[in-house]
Amino acid sequence: MNQLHRFFLAILVSLGLAAGAHAEGNPADYRLGAGDAIKISVFQNPDLTVETRVAESGTVTYPLIGAVQLGDLTIAEAELAIASKLREGGFVQRPQVNILLMQVRGNQVSVLGMVNRPGRYPIETGNTRVSDMLATAGGAMPSGTTGGGADVLILTGVRDGKAFRKEIDIPDLFINSSAERDIPVAGGDVIYVHRAPVFYIYGEVQRAGSYRLERNMTVLQGLAQGGGLTIRGTERGLRIHRLGTDSKVSVLTPEKTDRIQANDVLYVQESFF
């Protein structure tokens, strides 16, 4: 083997290795859903070329064979399904079917609430997870005058024909790399991020107003959020106004280590001395 042959052989081997690595890195195949626009063609049978959409029932109507169920199939599985029907019907002996995904309309997930880019987003791979869709929507809104997005999202949808609802801790997805909680999404799912809980502080504090309620926040930490007491304020005059389940407001005298609850109102009275 001369040097020129070795050169071309090395190129072919490197290309083959690169292609193999690329194939191994590919995500799971996209599964067809209602509303997807596809182009179906059969090699050497131009009269069987059809552009159509997947119906809500998951079917498409194709020449010679009629309705074919393609919903929730990968592109390769859909090609095989059409080829099998063409062959079984005796219309084409050895059909080579090709399906091209023209436009993705089905298998979309709605991401709503306190996220940076709410909207409907397509599931581009078969293993798209909650964290992927949250990232696509720009993540939960940061803290601000509105309090930002909560630390928990709600995922609703349908699984095995039954209504599905799950609350997922957002920081836990990333801090603890919780794959069990970072579940795959399905077409028609809705991800909702609620507004973060807040508490209120007024009276003899430096910065009265509403603030985001962090996890396990204590009364002392809440006072720090408000900038601390003024020179006229007194910790002995600290009260919490809390709305109960019976819609009645109770007035509590808390310890500084007590936990604040959502919608609590902290009031710092003026010292009389």
Give the model confidence (pLDDT) of 225-234 as tens digits.
Answer: 999 999 888 8
The answer to whether residues 191 and 203 belong to one domain is no
The answer to whether residues 57 and 76 belong to one domain is yes
Flag whether 250 is in a domain. yes
Residue given tokens 């709605």 in the structure block:
110
Average pLDDT over the chain reads 85
The answer to whether residues 93 and 119 belong to one domain is no
End residue of a domain, out of 103, 119, 148: 103
The answer to whether residues 98 and 149 belong to one domain is no
Rounded Cα gap, residues 32 and 221, in angstroms: 51
End residue of a domain, out of 172, 195, 218: 195
Distances from the Cα of 261 to the Cα of 47, 101, 267, angstroms: 68, 50, 14
What's the CATH code of the domain at 259? 3.10.560.10
The answer to whether residues 173 and 191 belong to one domain is yes
Give the domain range for residue 233.
198-270
Strand partners, 163: 158
Instruction: Return the pLDDT at 273.
Output: 61
The answer to whether residues 43 and 93 belong to one domain is yes
Flag whether 7 is in a domain. no
Instruction: Return the pLDDT at 22.
Output: 36
3-state secondary structure of 221: helix
- Express each pLDDT in 2-52 by its tens digit: 544 444 444 443 444 333 333 333 444 678 888 889 999 999 999 999 999
Whether 67 and 55 have beta carbons less than 8 Å apart is answered as: no
pTM above the 0.75 mark? no
Rounded Cα gap, residues 47 and 41, in angstroms: 9
